[in-house]
Structure 1
Amino acid sequence: MALITICGYPCSGKSTRAEQIRTFLQSKLGIPDAVSAPPAAESSATSSPSAPSNAPTPQLQVFTVSDDSLNLPRSVYNESRSEKPARGALLSAMQRHANAGTVLIVDAPNYIKGFRYQMYCIARELRLRVCTVYVIATPDVCKERNDARIQSGAATAYTPETLDNLIMRFEEPSSMVRWDSPLISMLWTDEGIPGQQVWDAVTKGDVKPPNAGTQAVPKAPSSALHTLEHTTSALVSSILSEQSAAGGSFTSSSSTSIPVTPTLTVRLALPQRALTLSELQRLKRQFVTVHKKAITLGTVEKGEVDWGEEAVAGKFGRYLEENLKQ
């Protein structure tokens, strides 16, 4: 249904806002909290075990994926070599949970615009609405909150060096770019959330078609090259055999049935003259070269991904009809 990306400085209040948004959306959707609460850890079940077995399953759900739900400590942000796998785990979890029946909230620093763009492309591929929530707080406020966490021994505290580094590297979202739009901003001093804006974004926002660059290219089967070579050669041999049986040339103006295999026959409108092996081989090479390139590069004709014997024979037959001159 929709992807909501939460971003902001560390300790700016992102998790608080994510929980407020989750509660608000569940209330609007009429989903009991016990049914739709996100898993405490990624390895646990997606639905609450305390829900009655005969309880009706809601059509829509609201999940939150975060560092905490993945059991990722804040220390993963101390070094890039530990942060990259953590971002990969977050992206994988987002891909697993994103679907047409879920409003997915990604509660993480999300401070790199390239990472937000990755999530945006996945959402477009799944035809989900998107929304970015920017929680704004000053660096001083974030540092004060982090210091309080350090003093209390909270697991959500960052080292001062890591906090400064993340704040310095933060790439602010912009409503001018498509992967951050629509952008909903809220200050750390705001008591509530702009719930109606979020609701409109996840229920009425535009569903953009997948990017051409994100769509999977149809691949030809591993046997396509063999089928291409074998079928075209068989059709050339059959044409020459049928021509020889007809007295050296095709004299009928109507199409001729050419057997390719014991179970496959192609009807062709061939010129009323003697066809030579050299011209048939030349056309065969041209046809195979073009289609071999399509197979090896994975760029098959849009809507035509059938590389079976019948399809190849039909294509080659039409190619011969168009290129054999009277």
Structure 2
Amino acid sequence: MALITVSGYPSSGKSRRAEQLKTHLEARLRDPGYAGPNLKVSVVSDDVLNIDRQVYNDGRAEKPARAALFTAAQRQMGQDTILIIDAMNYIKGFRYQLYCAAREQKLRVCTMYVAATPEICKEWNASRQDGRAYAPETLDNLLLRYEEPSSMVRWDSPLFTVPWTDDDVPADEIWKAVTEGIVKPPNAGTQAVPKAPTDALRTLEHTTTTMVSAIMAEQTASQGTGGPVTLSLSATLRQRLTLPARNITLSELQRLKRLFVTVHKKAITLGTTEKGAVDWSETSIADKFASYIEGNLKP
């Protein structure tokens, strides 16, 4: 249904804001006036995944921790879930990765930026009594590395900023974004490329060779009068096409066959980004080759 990415400085109050938002969303879903789909609200965070704050002391340890967060988010993304990612999400590339994963699932997206000054974050971090405080040097390093969200980039938009001075989150605006916002299609670059059947190359070569032989046989029988003809390619396959009123040489047909096969071999071996499944059956190949011949044979 939707992905809400929470971002902000460490110890800026992100978890409190995420809990406030979760409470508001669940209240709206329980409201008797709500007539939408049956949804649940889930939160994925470092705390839920038991990721220790110490991983942010070392870049090599941080990378698998961030991967664990991303994997957990992917598992919970779905049309029946409003998912809140409660973490720093301080790297814009990581926010873009979450955005692309959400688009793959056809989810609405938005970002909640929990804003607080570095001084406030340091004060709140020092006062933590839950054992989840950042080491002072780690906190300073993360504050310097933080990449602030921007409403000007698509993966952070729509962006809702919540200052530390506000008592609550903008629940009405976020609710509208996750229930009425635009669902963007998946990025073409991230879509899985449909694979051709294992026998597609053999079918392509066999069908085009059979058609060339059938055209030459039909031309011999009709003395090159041309016009609409029906080729018998197998016991079950018949193909209609229109031939020009002249003698077609075998070299002409062989040249067209080579060009046609070369183009379609590339589509088979490298894949295709055509929407929907690509049909590599004998009938489909015969139809395409017939159209190709009609369009490329000179009258």
Match of 1:183 in 2: 159
Match of 2:43 in 1: 64
CA contact (8 A) 1:224 1:295 kept: yes
* 1:147 maps to 2:126: yes
The Cα shift of 1:220 comes to 2.7
CA distance in 1, matches of 2:17, 2:93: 23
* 1:251 maps to 2:230: no
The Cα shift of 1:144 comes to 2.6
For the aligned residue pairs, the C-alpha RMSD in angstroms reads: 2.2
1:23-62, Cα deviation, whole Å (9 max, x unpaired): 110001108xxxxxxxxxxxxxxxxxxxxxxxxxx81110
The Cα shift of 1:232 comes to 0.8
The Cα shift of 1:288 comes to 1.1
Match of 1:21 in 2: 21
1:171-196, Cα deviation, whole Å (9 max, x unpaired): 11112222212221122233222222
Match of 1:219 in 2: 195
CA distance in 2, matches of 1:69, 1:260: 63
CA distance in 1, matches of 2:99, 2:197: 31
* Partner SS for 2:243: coil
CA distance in 2, matches of 1:190, 1:252: 81
The alignment's TM-score, normalised by the length of structure 2, stands at 0.89
1:265-317, Cα deviation, whole Å (9 max, x unpaired): 21222233333221110110111122222333323555571111111111111
In structure 2, relative to structure 1, the CA distance for the partners of 1:213 and 1:252 (3 Å cut) is closer
Match of 2:241 in 1: 268
Q: Single out whichever of 137-146 and 216-225 deviates more from structure 2.
A: 216-225
The letter for the 2-side match of 1:14 is: K
For 1:285-300, list aligned pairs within 5 A: 285-299=258-272
The alignment's TM-score, normalised by the length of structure 1, stands at 0.82
CA distance in 2, matches of 1:155, 1:242: 86
Match of 2:292 in 1: 319
Match of 1:108 in 2: 87
CA distance in 2, matches of 1:304, 1:273: 38
1:221-252, Cα deviation, whole Å (9 max, x unpaired): 333222211211121122223444x16x3436
CA distance in 1, matches of 2:198, 2:30: 49
CA contact (8 A) 1:65 1:107 kept: yes
1:44-91, Cα deviation, whole Å (9 max, x unpaired): xxxxxxxxxxxxxx8111011111222222222222222112222212
CA contact (8 A) 2:226 2:242 kept: no
In structure 2, relative to structure 1, the CA distance for the partners of 1:183 and 1:81 (3 Å cut) is same
CA contact (8 A) 2:229 2:240 kept: yes
CA contact (8 A) 1:2 1:104 kept: yes
Match of 2:34 in 1: none
The letter for the 1-side match of 2:173 is: Q
CA distance in 2, matches of 1:86, 1:239: 64
Match of 2:109 in 1: 130
Match of 1:282 in 2: 255
CA distance in 1, matches of 2:226, 2:94: 66
**Unmatched tracts of structure 2, length 5 or more:** 32-36
**Unmatched tracts of structure 1, length 5 or more:** 32-57
CA contact (8 A) 1:294 1:300 kept: no
Q: In the alignment, which of 185, 202, 226 is matched to residue 178 of structure 2? A: 202
In structure 2, relative to structure 1, the CA distance for the partners of 1:192 and 1:322 (3 Å cut) is closer
Q: Single out whichever of 270-279 and 64-73 deviates more from structure 2.
A: 270-279
Identity across the alignment (%)? 63
The Cα shift of 1:115 comes to 0.9
The Cα shift of 1:259 comes to 1.9
Runs of 4+ aligned residues of structure 1 deviating over 6 Å after TM superposition are none
